[in-house]
Amino acid sequence: MREITYAQALNEALRECMKEDERVILLGEDIGKYGGIFQVTAGLLDEFGDKRVIDTPISEAAFVGASVGAALTGMRPVAEIMFIDFTTVCMDMIINQMAKMHYMFGGRGKVPMVLRTNIGAGRGAAAQHSQSFHALYVHIPGLLVAAPSTPYDAKGLLTEAIKNENPVIFVEHKKLYVEKGPVPEESYSIPFGKADIKREGKDLTIVATHALVLRSLRAAEEVAKEGIDVEIIDPRTLTPLDKDTILKSVEKTGRLLVADEGHKTCGVAAEISAIVAEEGIYSLRAPVQRVCSPDTPVPFSPPLEQSYIPDEKNLIPAIRRLMEYT
């Protein structure tokens, strides 16, 4: 199969959905001529025109709120917030409007929209442009939360997100945009709530999200040399979360490491750990370990940022530690 990047895969999903359904329109800052800060919307303005690819003012509350209003009245907007950090300026539209309308209105009205944004440190962009607080949205009922880790998943999940009748927070990862992988040319959807086993193994389960999937795969190769056989589960969507696949894997391996780039405290990794402590504790033969970003803002200085980012340097020792329990 041909290989394209994660950014190209997302671009393809947008293009296909826009071709198929004229209700799909895009709003965001610099998504037109500029093609989006990470080039995810490149070429779409030319192809679909400025009625469907709308460069917005720096008015996130207005255009995310407008997406809600447009979705309520029959459109399928896809809004882009340049970095997840900036979703703070339109949080009310997300948490109090987009997420809750269907419920508050007792099922009258629905909000089929997608809010695309991205997480991830590693670009020297410091504390307000590098955050990974997707857990905030996982905490809020009414939202679906997608977390693609590969170009294949990116395309399939975005297609599903756009076709879904519910509001979706679509969380991309900055460092993955340039990663390549095989992606079918035709349109396809990946259903929400189905984890993907990115590597099978029998000794230890890593539940990993986003870039941590890649980093875990590398760590797994490394420890394989020591005879440690790691299984890697990528939930792909955080809401809904496929806890069955996770619990089943832990039942098999008896060891769980949860790897997510969000801050450790009250993050996605905490939730997965808590689920296993609640429903799979008898499968465990070792403590549950979390490999996450530390509870500090993201520092600018490259060496500090490197030490901030959770990756193989954290994963490998954690795996070895867990393997000490027998």
Ligand X SMILES: Cc1ncc(C[n+]2csc(CCOP(=O)(O)OP(=O)(O)O)c2C)c(N)n1
The answer to whether 302 contacts other proteins (rule: CB under 8 A) is: yes
Residue 5 binding other proteins, by CB under 8 A:
no
**What backbone phi and psi angles, to 5 degrees, belong to 171?**
-100, 105
In sequence order, which ranges of 145-240 are alpha helices (DSSP H)?
151-163, 211-224
Q: Which of residues 131-190 bind other proteins (CB under 8 A)?
A: 141-142, 144, 165-166
Contact predicate 239/269, CB 8 Å = no
Using the rule CB under 6 A, is 197 a contact of ligand X? no
**Residue from 43, 49, 109, 287 binding other proteins (CB under 8 A):** 109
Distance of closest approach, residue 123 Cβ to ligand X, in angstroms: 14
Helix (H) and strand (E) counts for the chain? Answer: 12, 14
How far, in whole angstroms, is CA 294 from its chain's centroid? 19
Nearest distance from C-beta of residue 56 to a copy of itself, angstroms: 17
In the complex, what is the shortest distance from the CB of residue 286 to other proteins, in angstroms, rounded to a whole number? 26
In this complex, which beta carbon is closest to other proteins, that of residue 301 or of residue 325? 301
Q: Are 295 and 262 in contact (CB under 8 A)?
A: no
Rounded (5°) CA angle 258-217-189: 85
Q: Is 82 in the site for ligand X (CB under 6 A)?
A: yes
CB of 166 to a copy of itself, least distance (A): 13
User: Which CB, 152 or 177, lies closer to ligand X?
Assistant: 177
User: What's the Cα-to-Cα distance from 131 to each of 120, 135, 216, 257, 258, rounded to whole Å?
Assistant: 6, 11, 20, 22, 19
Q: Which of 182, 194, 307, 317 binds other proteins (CB under 8 A)?
A: 307
Should residue 129 be labelled a site residue for other proteins when binding is judged by CB under 8 A?
A: yes
From ligand X, a copy of itself, other proteins, none, interface partner of 290 (C-beta below 5 to 8 A by class): a copy of itself
Binders of ligand X in range 10-39 (CB under 6 A): 29
Residue 148 CB, nearest distance to ligand X (Å)? 23
Of 70-78, 82-90, 173-181, 200-208, the window that binds ligand X (rule: CB under 6 A) is 82-90
SS3 at position 43 = coil
- 3-class secondary-structure state, position 279: helix
Q: Is 134 a catalytic residue?
A: no
The set of residues, in sequence order, having a beta carbon less than 8 Å from that of 46 and lying 6+ positions away, is: none
Can you tell me which of 224, 297, 321, 323 binds other proteins, judged by CB under 8 A? 297
Burial 243-272 (b: 16+ CB within 10 A, else e): bebbbbbbeebbbbbbbbbbbbeebbbbbb
Q: Which two tokens stand for residue 277?
A: 């402590």
Rg over CA atoms, the chain:
19
- Pair 133, 262: CB distance under 8 Å: yes
Q: Is 108 in the site for other proteins (CB under 8 A)?
A: yes
The correct pick among 86, 125, 126, 294 for binding ligand X (CB under 6 A) is 86
Site string (89-128) toward ligand X, x via CB under 6 A = x---------------------------------------
Question: Can you give the binding site for a copy of itself, defined by CB under 8 A?
Answer: 85-86, 88-89, 91-92, 94-96, 99-100, 103-104, 126-128, 133, 135-136, 138-142, 239, 241, 262-263, 265-271, 273-274, 276-279, 281-282, 284, 286-290, 294-297, 299
Helices (H), the chain: 6-20, 44-48, 60-72, 91-92, 101-104, 135-138, 151-163, 211-224, 243-253, 268-279, 302-308, 312-323
- Active-site annotation, residues: 129
